[in-house]
Amino acid sequence: MGSLLTLQFLFPLLLAILLLVTGYISGRYLERKHYEHIIAEETRPGQVMVFPLRLPPPSLSPPETALVMGSVVISVDYFKRFIATLRMLVGGRLNSYESLLDRARREALLRMRAEAEAMGAKEVFNVKYETAVISGRSAQSQVGSVEVLAYGTALIGKD
């Protein structure tokens, strides 16, 4: 009787706690590393400039144009998803998802900039974001991962 009780109740409980702890530790570590990477890249001098303007200003020597894009799919960890589920009971700010989307947007923009830089561009105009929720195959997984695409038109100077 005792062993049956262990199997039925204790095992799922232990598994959940284990998942929460690993999610918490690895999620924190990965997020910190990612933010360090993002900030280092964003503050690097000589970056491609990004404008959400519809039209570039007219110039004497018209540049070449090319479509550039960057995208990333990021997932939250188990711990944050758990916290978000609790938060949804009372409502309010979902801190854990805010940082997920912030990281995804900034990373996507950085990748677009890198592509533009590789083409020798100095500016990217008409930058747009596109966000999509990528749901897993299993029904029990909720929001979890999100894809952000950043795209725009790179102007490549001819001189």
Partner 1 sequence: MLLSNLEIVPGRRVKDHLGLVQGSTVRAKHVGRDIAASFKNVFGGELRGYTELLNDSRQEAIKRMAEQAEAIGANAVLNIRFSTSSLTQGAAELFVYGSAVILED
Which residues contribute to the site for partner 1 (CB under 8 A)?
Answer: 19, 22-23, 26-27, 30-31, 34, 54-56, 58-59, 61-63, 65-67, 69, 71-78, 80-81, 107, 125-126, 128, 130, 132-139, 141, 144-145, 147, 149, 151-153, 155
Q: Which C-beta is closer to partner 1: that of 6 or that of 128?
A: 128
How far is Cα 85 from Cα 91, in angstroms, rounded to an integer? 10
Dihedral, CA of residue 67, residue 126, residue 65 and residue 74, to nearest 10: -30
Q: Which C-beta is closer to partner 1: that of 47 or that of 99?
A: 99
Provide, rounded to whole angstroms, the least separation between the CB of residue 10 and partner 1: 20
Q: Is the dihedral of CA 155, 130, 69, 144 positive or negative?
A: positive
Q: Which residue from 59, 15, 22 is spatially nearest to 156, judged by alpha carbons?
A: 59
Q: Which residue from 111, 98, 104 is spatially nearest to 131, judged by alpha carbons?
A: 104
Provide, rounded to whole angstroms, the least separation between the CB of residue 65 and partner 1: 5
Instruction: Read off the tokens for 14.
Output: 């232990």
Q: Which C-beta is closer to partner 1: that of 56 or that of 117?
A: 56
Q: Which C-beta is closer to partner 1: that of 6 or that of 53?
A: 53
